[in-house]
């Protein structure tokens, strides 16, 4: 089994930049694909900001920030990923976009055993494998936000993923990245979002129905249940567009009303109120 040294990450958004930071901190060479130079600049700023925070809290050695940043390169052309051992796709949670990416990446990667992983929360891994033409080497590798801080990674093989691919990814996640994996089945939501998303949607429904203020709903769960943050602040952190997309995929798969996004969530997304990343969600954020 070849070692994983050269990594590609598709998308430098919240999750993509977090995964890039984690991989570069593990000493790996990372190419990030973004859609424009401006988007690449924003992603680079996010990664540097997070590294500076880690440095100020003593999580990485003083002076290591520059070395980590030097291991990261930004590109806009997918062809630059040809020599990668692993590509982690972290594009928007949109099935059409992901299918197109996997179709192209399947042709572009030149190493026979190169792995194509998706950070999707809910899109069937088996479909991504099928369009790639290299289904044995495709699986889900689901990180949690903020990726440099959260220890968990869900590993999701599909019906067509080989045991060798799963073993290599388990080794990468544990030995290289120092994360803790759990195994999940290729069903929308996997383990964590199947439990988390109905909870977040219930909090949004509660707020929409006027049961309590956003602050009191969140304080209830922080002070009453010991959660690090309340459900509405957490929804803002994840991104309201992402939660809506995950809820819709889970509803499509299981037809359970508890996964159906409430109207307020749809209206907020339509209005561009996406949470922390847009500066306004259930709460306001300074840029
Ligand atoms: N690198 C490394 N460590 C960092 C860091 C970085 N860039 N930034 C912060 N940290 C560390 C801090 O040093 C601190 O560590 P210690 O506890 O050892 O001191 C810890 O992370 C917490 O950092 P802060 O003190 O800055 O922040 P906080 O205490 O306010 O916590 C939080 C922030 C980690 C986000 C916390 O509120 C939390 O855990 N919230 C819940 C997040 C969550 O549930 N995420 C999952 C979302 S679901 C998802 O992502 C999946 C999906 O598909 C939707």
Residue ranges of the domains in the chain? 6-183, 193-270
Q: What percent of the chain has pLDDT over 70?
A: 99
Q: Which helix (H) or strand (E) holds 238?
A: helix 231-238
Among candidate residues 50, 121, 158, 194, the one labeled active-site is 121
User: How many Å lie between the centroid of ligand 1 and the Cα of residue 167?
Assistant: 28
Number of Cα atoms under 13 Å in the Cβ half of residue 255: 0
Average pLDDT rounded to a whole number, residues 135-162: 98
Q: What pTM, to 2 d.p., does this model score?
A: 0.95
In words, the CATH class of domain 6-183 is alpha beta
**Is 154 an annotated catalytic residue?**
yes
Torsion of CA 136, 21, 96, 139, to 10 degrees: 20
Average pLDDT rounded to a whole number, residues 60-77: 93
> Can you tell me the distance from the alpha carbon of 239 to that of 84, in angstroms, rounded to the nearest whole number?
29
In words, the CATH class of domain 193-270 is mainly alpha
Q: Say if residue 156's pLDDT is above 90.
A: yes
Residue 132 to residues 103, 117, 139, 153: CA-CA distances in angstroms? 5, 11, 11, 23
* pLDDT tens profile 205-258: 999 999 999 999 999 999 999 999 999 999 999 999 999 999 999 999 999 999
User: How many Å lie between the centroid of ligand 1 and the Cα of residue 149?
Assistant: 5
For residue 122, the ligand 1 atom closest to its alpha carbon is 53
**Is 260 an annotated catalytic residue?**
no
**Is 193 an annotated catalytic residue?**
yes
């Amino acid at each position: 089994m070849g070692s994983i040294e050269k990594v590609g990450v598709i998308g430098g958004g919240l999750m993509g930049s977090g995964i890039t930071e984690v991989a570069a901190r593990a000493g790996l060479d990372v190419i990030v694909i973004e859609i424009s130079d401006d988007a690449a600049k924003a992603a680079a700023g996010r990664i540097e900001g997070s590294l500076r925070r880690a440095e100020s809290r003593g999580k990485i050695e003083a002076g290591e920030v520059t070395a980590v940043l030097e291991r990261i390169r930004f590109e806009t052309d997918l062809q630059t990923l040809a020599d990668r051992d692993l590509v982690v796709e972290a594009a928007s949670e949109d099935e059409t976009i992901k299918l197109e990416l996997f179709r192209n990446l399947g042709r572009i990667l030149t190493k026979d055993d190169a792995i194509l992983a998706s950070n999707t929360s809910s899109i069937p891994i088996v479909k991504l494998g099928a369009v790639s033409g290299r289904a044995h080497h495709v699986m889900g590798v689901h990180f949690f936000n903020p990726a440099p801080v959260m220890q968990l990674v869900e590993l999701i093989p599909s019906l067509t993923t080989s045991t060798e691919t799963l073993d290599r990814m388990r080794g990468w996640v544990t030995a290289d990245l120092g994360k803790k994996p759990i195994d999940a089945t290729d069903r929308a939501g996997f383990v964590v979002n199947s439990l988390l998303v109905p909870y977040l949607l219930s909090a949004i429904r509660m707020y929409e129905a006027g049961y309590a203020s956003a602050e009191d709903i969140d304080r209830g769960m922080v002070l009453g249940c010991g959660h690090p943050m309340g459900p509405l602040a957490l929804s803002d952190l994840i991104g309201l567009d992402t939660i809506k997309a995950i809820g819709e995929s889970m509803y499509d798969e299981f037809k359970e009303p508890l996964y159906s996004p409430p109207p307020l969530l749809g209206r907020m997304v339509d209005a561009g109120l996406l949470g922390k990343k847009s500066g306004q969600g259930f709460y306001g954020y300074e840029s």
